[in-house]
Amino acid sequence: MSRIWHGSYDPRVPWTLEYPDLCLPLSLERNAANFPEHVATEFFGAALTYADLWDKVQRFATALASLGVTKGTRVAVMLPNCPQTVVAYYAVLWLGAVVVMTNPLYVEREMEYQWADAEAEHLVVLDHLYPKVERTLPRTKIRTVIATSLRESLPFHLKLLYPLKARIGRLFTAVPYGDTVLNFSSLLKSHKPEPPPFGATPQDLAALQYTGGTTGVSKGVMLSHANLMANVLQLVAWFPDLKFGETRFMGILPFFHVFGMTVTMNLPIHAACTIILVPRFEVNDFLKTLQKTKPTLFPGVPTIFVAIVNHPKVQSYDLSSIMYCITGSSPMPVDVLRRFEKLTGAVIVEGYGLTESSPVTHANPLGGVRKVGSIGIPLPDTDAKVVDLDLGVREMEPGEPGELIVRGPQVMKSYWRMPDETAQTLRDGWLYTGDIATRDEDGYFFIVDRKKDMIISGGYNIYPREIDEVLYEHPRILDAVAVGVPDDYRGEIVKAFIVPKPGENLTEKEIIAFCKERLAAYKVPRSIEFRDSLPKSLVGKVFRRQLRMEAVQQYEAQRAKSGRSGQQVKTTP
């Protein structure tokens, strides 16, 4: 196939790479030998060198092996970003076991489904979460719980203050340790760093990474050691200015999400860099952390950048250490990107990926043409096409929208025990992403929208992202998202959910007038709902379908009410 995008590559980036039989834990072992005194993680001022981190990983792997963890055993990890997460993750992989990263915000139903589906046998969890875990355990196969506290990794002065903070915040800490409920730090102290030999091959399963489940039942994406390693090597090649042992990564993206796992944990660990661990995002504290810790590479998501550029005192913070930002997970508003770059002097590289591809497949080149609003071009050894929405066979011409499909060494093995879904998503070696995209003459790709988010109004196809971009241009809008809702006449109409900036008063009439100046008439929102906030995932992705579901329920309730009164449901003409 024609790879027109190769002409837009940074001259320092090769089109194809060598993929040695190397797995991520072996990278850590190598770095502990070659860079033992380099700082691997910083956590509220407490530093772990690569020698320290490797020692803890070996001890924890030894402890897990004593509990019966071996090749193929599924081990769930439900922790925020802290040193214990890195230790647990790499210890599990060292044994050839399978890590099941779990969102700490999950409710019992979600935990139960994921752990039962994965048949997880062991769990590493934060002490605050133990009560809801305990209620879930009888409906899973988990037989050992290893609990840990953030206090265990804090510097001495913060360790003294932590119990008081926990009491004030009413955080649960009284874990009933015993035969099947063990303490993380105690296991490290009671076991020597003498684990079994490395227990995996590149083709072995490394992670069951569950999708968000927004389109139905959450699916376990089977990522091999080779998948994870390939994506890390592709990113190392893509960022030739990455300095082994020197670059400082801001670790705000949660490691339980595939974006954070690869770009914010595995990439810096492979490159012997430092990860500044931040367990949760709160804009005031985060700005202080950025100024104090001085990261040079900042992987983030649009909502984080939105919060920063709109902070009333952002100009008083020194953010000049940031050289590069990597963003993905959801579309980056062009206005926000430009404002952040002007504010900091950093370069934002927008990319694209999905859980099924470990996750990164596209990115804008660092030393080439960067097209704002584009997801960029395919990484080395990655192919991509835009195909028709009906059969997914015919390749579309430049500028014509269709479904984005990709293939490369980072693409998953399959879905866990879901052969029908696997056959639908993986076809003839291609991963069908479900995203609608276009490609330009230079080989740059642009995401138009999710295939299932497309709005069809009066026979016209409307892509919500285009409307989102226009709404973000309004100087008094903080956050916005457009969805399609049913309409008796047009089939669907556009509804916009809007969060005004603090202290601003907006009207529906004003927003619609603003959109009419910038959008074709059929794309203009017919309904506006103002909110204090929008529902989002921890990586900042707006739950568009949740909002659409709420809007549909409102429509159905209104229709039922009007039906009883014999009136028709009317929409704004």
Sorting pLDDT into bands at 50, 70 and 90, what band is 23?
A: very high
Position with higher pLDDT, 395 vs 216: 395
- Joined together, the tokens standing for residue 448 give 């138009």
Residues 86, 189: Cα–Cα separation, whole Å: 17
Sorting pLDDT into bands at 50, 70 and 90, what band is 16?
A: very high
- What's the distance, Cα to Cα, between the start and end of the chain in Å? 47
CATH 1.10.8.60 fits 47-200, yes or no: no
Q: Is 90 helix (H, G, I), strand (E, B) or coil?
A: helix
Sorting pLDDT into bands at 50, 70 and 90, what band is 452?
A: confident
List all residues 6 or more positions away from 132 whose beta carbon is below 8 Å from its beta carbon: 107, 108, 111
Compute the average pLDDT of residues 459-463.
72
Residue 572 has pLDDT above 60, yes or no: no
Percentage of the chain with pLDDT > 70? 95
Q: How many CB atoms neighbour CB 3 within 10 A? A: 14
Among residues 410, 412, 350, the alpha carbon closest in space to that of 381 is found at 410
Residue 370 has pLDDT above 70, yes or no: yes
List all residues 6 or more positions away from 236 whose beta carbon is below 8 Å from its beta carbon: 242, 267, 270, 271
User: Buried b / exposed e across 15-38, counting CB within 10 Å, b at 16+?
Assistant: eebeeeebbbbbbbbebbeebeeb
Position with higher pLDDT, 564 vs 362: 362
Amino acid at 329: S
- Joined together, the tokens standing for residue 359 give 């996750």
Mean pLDDT, rounded, of the chain: 92
Residues 107, 123: Cα–Cα separation, whole Å: 16
**Tokens 């603003």, located at residue:** 514
Q: How many CB atoms neighbour CB 210 within 10 A? A: 25
Among residues 374, 489, 383, the alpha carbon closest in space to that of 431 is found at 383
Q: How far is CA 201 from the centre of its chain?
A: 26
Extents of the domains making up the chain? 47-200, 455-565
Sorting pLDDT into bands at 50, 70 and 90, what band is 487?
A: confident
Written in H, E and C, the secondary structure of 137-186 is HHHCCCCEEEEECHHHHCCHHHHHHHHHHHHHCCCCCCCCCCCCEEEHHH
For position 463, what pLDDT does the model report? 75
Residue 571 has pLDDT above 70, yes or no: no
Among residues 498, 490, 365, the alpha carbon closest in space to that of 5 is found at 365
For position 536, what pLDDT does the model report? 86
Residues 345, 437: Cα–Cα separation, whole Å: 30
- Per-residue pLDDT tens over the stretch 388-404: 998 999 999 999 999 99
Among the four given CATH numbers 3.30.1490.190, 3.30.300.30, 1.10.3080.10, 3.40.190.10, the one describing domain 455-565? 3.30.300.30
For position 570, what pLDDT does the model report? 33
DSSP string, 201-226: -TTSEEEEEE---TTSS--EEEEEHH
